[in-house]
Amino acid sequence: MTITLNPYLSFPDGRAREAMELYQSVLGGELSVMTFGDMGTEGPLAEQVMHGQLETPAGLVLMGADAPPEMVQVTFGDSMSVSLSGGPEDAEELRGWFAALSEGGEVRQPLEAAPWGDEFGMLVDRFGVSWMVNVAGAAAG
């Protein structure tokens, strides 16, 4: 069995489904969603996402769930970012992802030539998730 490391995002205010559907529209792939109701929970929490998993054609796996305040306290900040990296052959796709993820969010560092020779940018999407995008060697030449 191969060990993997996957980002698992928690969303306040019942926005996990909306966020995961955005990520699917940007990154592509298959999204599976299990609600609290699927596990027997009744009431307002039943429709919220207990576990969402997006598997993209590029082999990326992104997981997420709603974070009911009585279960999880979500604090957004700068201590964690989701990083997307690739080579020059991936530049167009990575630039498109950066643009799509930044819609309705905040670009903190435009995707542009970086001192180390790559193209790099940072953003916070409309759900409060921080992203970094790096295109290796794209600025060279």
Q: Which one-letter amino acid corresponds to residue 92?
A: E
Residue 141 pLDDT greater than 50, yes or no: no
Q: Examine the fold and report which residue of 36, 66, 96 is the final residue of a domain before the chain moves on.
A: 66
Which domain, by its residues, includes 128? 82-135
Angle between helix 91-102 and helix 16-27 axes, rounded to 10 deg: 150
Strand partners, 78: none
Q: Comparing C-alpha atoms, which of 115, 69, 121 is closest to residue 94?
A: 121
Same structural domain for residues 13 and 59? yes
Judgement on whether residues 87 and 131 belong to the same structural domain of the protein: yes
2 or 128: whose pLDDT is higher?
Answer: 128
Taking the CA atoms of the chain, what radius of gyration do you get in angstroms?
16
Domain end residue (candidates: 66, 92, 111): 66
Span 22-42, pLDDT tens digits: 999 999 999 999 999 999 999
Residue 98 lies in a domain: yes
Place of tokens 């969010």: 105
DSSP state of 112: E
Does 2 map to a domain?
Answer: no
For the segment 11-21, the average pLDDT, to the nearest whole number, is 94
Shared domain check, 53 and 26: yes
pLDDT value at residue 139? 56
- For residue 124, the domain's CATH number is 3.10.180.10
- Does residue 141 belong to any structural domain of this protein? no
Residue 42 lies in a domain: yes
Q: What is the pLDDT of residue 138?
A: 64
pLDDT tens per residue across span 122-132: 999 999 999 99
Grade residue 3 by pLDDT with cuts at 50, 70 and 90: confident
User: Does 46 share its domain with 20?
Assistant: yes
| Cβ(131)–Cβ(123) below 8 Å | yes
Is the separation of the CB atoms in 56 and 27 below 8 Å?
yes
**Main-chain dihedrals φ then ψ at residue 71, nearest 5 degrees:** -110, -40
Overall number of domains in the chain = 2
Q: Tens digits of per-residue pLDDT, 66-115?
A: 987 777 777 777 778 999 999 999 999 999 999 999 999 999 999 999 99
In a domain, 33, yes or no: yes
